[in-house]
């Protein structure tokens, strides 16, 4: 069984729509900037990939993750030609921090906060009339887990259309925790490069409209062939090559394809030495060295957008399949040893004939997901 992606929406630090983000990625334009509202004196890291949309520079405001979520969902619905009424349409949202930043601003600065505003379902109901909303907190694989659940709902006949989304704003407690636990201090997120020092957070939201089959005349961005998920629970933070191998092979099996059929891999590429080396080593065993698919990692320009990162990679994959152009890994000059045989796109965007894409998303606790996307034209 396959599923049609008929609508897409996204907001990130380097663009306000899927096409804007894709164009920025292909041009090598990232969102890296100095911290805009956190006290930099408290942290070793001084940079992030934020969305620069605050009404007053240097002054934070609550509800940003929810605001972007409704923007992304609205874009996706309009793109799909949907009337915007989600009364009977399930909405599945993947996140890592939800509205943690809003709670921080209430606690620290007395910002107004209604408890029901912490649940994305409130805004989705008020904006779109959504009555079936579900939030998934599956770490960095959350939005692809939500996508897998959407395919189950459709396959079981519980819905013929599902909206899948992901959103996260940077919370200071999460930023501070990451700053303390990383051994080195990154000034940029450089996936698979020998100079990588760790992960920097990004912000954004993404949404897709998934249908069992597109309506007559409806544009289909890409066809979803499969989503594989697992949780190996190997370690709280360190990725397990066995678990990652299993989820990739499971996605291939569900899609009825082999590694040789994949033309593009959207890497998880978190920029942390352990993740980069593990992901690269796994893929080097799965794909033929030197002749395998093109590979890229968009976190080099968006930062790690946490729960929505997997779905954002999938949206960019759909655009890459359509335009037959793959954005580069910004800052990649010398790959780590494990990635030496992989066909990583460097320096500038690369044109290629693309039919099938694999999208990776691996989270803390061994929460792994991989999706297979097929071009439709």
pLDDT per residue as tens digits for the range 53-99:
999 999 999 999 999 999 999 999 999 999 999 999 999 999 999 99
Indicate whether 198 and 235 sit together in one domain: no
Domain that residue 315 falls in: 223-374
**Do 165 and 242 have their domain in common?**
no
* Mean pLDDT, range 194-206, rounded to an integer: 97
Residue 289 has a pLDDT of 77
Last residue of a domain, one of 211, 243, 271: 211
CATH of residue 116's domain is 3.40.47.10
Residues 283 and 342: beta-carbon distance below 8 Å:
yes
Q: Which of 208, 212, 234 is nearest to 314 (CA)?
A: 208
Give the pair of three-digit tokens for residue 273.
């030495």
Is the separation of the CB atoms in 223 and 320 below 8 Å? no
pLDDT score of 377: 78
- What was the pLDDT predicted at 53? 97
Assess whether 284 and 157 both reside in one domain.
Answer: no
Is 290's pLDDT higher than 80?
no
pLDDT over 90 at 287, yes or no: yes
In the chain, the number of structural domains is 2
Task: Please identify, among 211, 236, 253, the residue that sits at the C-terminal boundary of a domain.
Answer: 211
Instruction: Encode burial over 36-66: b for 16+ CB neighbours within 10 A, e otherwise.
Output: bbbeeeebebbbbbbbeeeeeeeebbbbbbb
Q: What is the mean pLDDT of residues 259-277?
A: 97
Identify whether 218 is part of a domain: no
Beta pairing class for 204-211 and 3-12: antiparallel
Q: Has residue 247 got a pLDDT over 90?
A: yes
Q: Of 179, 211, 243, at which residue does a domain stop?
A: 211
Q: What pLDDT shows up at residue 136?
A: 95
Closest CA to 178 of 295, 27, 47, 336: 47
Average pLDDT over residues 162-181: 96
């Amino acid at each position: 069984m396959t599923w049609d992606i008929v609508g897409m929406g996204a907001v990130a630090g380097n663009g306000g729509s899927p096409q804007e983000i894709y164009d920025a990625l292909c041009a090598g334009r990232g969102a890296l900037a100095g911290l805009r509202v956190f006290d930099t004196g408290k942290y070793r890291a001084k940079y992030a990939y934020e969305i620069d949309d605050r009404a007053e520079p240097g002054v934070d405001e609550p509800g940003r993750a929810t605001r972007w979520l409704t923007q992304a969902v609205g874009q996706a619905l309009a793109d799909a030609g949907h009337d915007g009424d989600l009364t009977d349409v399930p909405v599945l949202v993947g996140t890592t921090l939800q509205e943690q930043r809003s709670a921080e601003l209430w606690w620290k600065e007395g910002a107004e906060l209604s408890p029901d505003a912490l649940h994305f379902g409130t805004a989705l109901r008020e904006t779109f009339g959504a009555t079936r909303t579900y939030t998934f907190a599956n770490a960095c694989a959350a939005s692809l887990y939500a996508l897998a659940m959407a395919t189950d709902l459709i396959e079981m006949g519980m819905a013929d259309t599902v909206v899948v989304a992901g959103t996260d704003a940077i919370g200071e407690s999460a930023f501070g925790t990451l700053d303390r636990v990383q051994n080195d201090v990154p000034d940029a997120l450089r996936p698979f490069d020998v100079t990588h020092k760790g992960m920097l957070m990004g912000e954004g939201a993404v949404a897709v409209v998934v249908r069992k089959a597109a309506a007559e005349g409806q544009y289909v961005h890409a066809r979803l062939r499969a989503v594989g998920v697992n949780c190996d629970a190997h370690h709280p933070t360190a990725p397990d090559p066995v678990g990652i191998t299993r989820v990739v092979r499971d996605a291939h099996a569900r899609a009825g394809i082999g590694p040789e059929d994949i033309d593009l891999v959207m890497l998880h590429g978190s920029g942390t030495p352990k993740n980069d080396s593990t992901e690269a080593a796994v893929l080097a065993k799965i794909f033929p060295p030197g002749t395998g698919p093109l590979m890229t990692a968009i976190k080099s320009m968006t930062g790690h957008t946490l729960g929505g990162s997997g779905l954002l990679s999938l949206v960019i994959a759909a655009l890459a399949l359509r335009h037959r152009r793959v954005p580069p890994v910004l800052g990649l000059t010398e790959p780590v040893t494990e990635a030496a045989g992989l066909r990583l796109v460097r320096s500038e965007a690369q044109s290629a004939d693309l039919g099938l894409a694999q999208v990776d998303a691996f989270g803390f606790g061994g929460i792994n997901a991989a999706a297979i996307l097929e071009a439709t034209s």
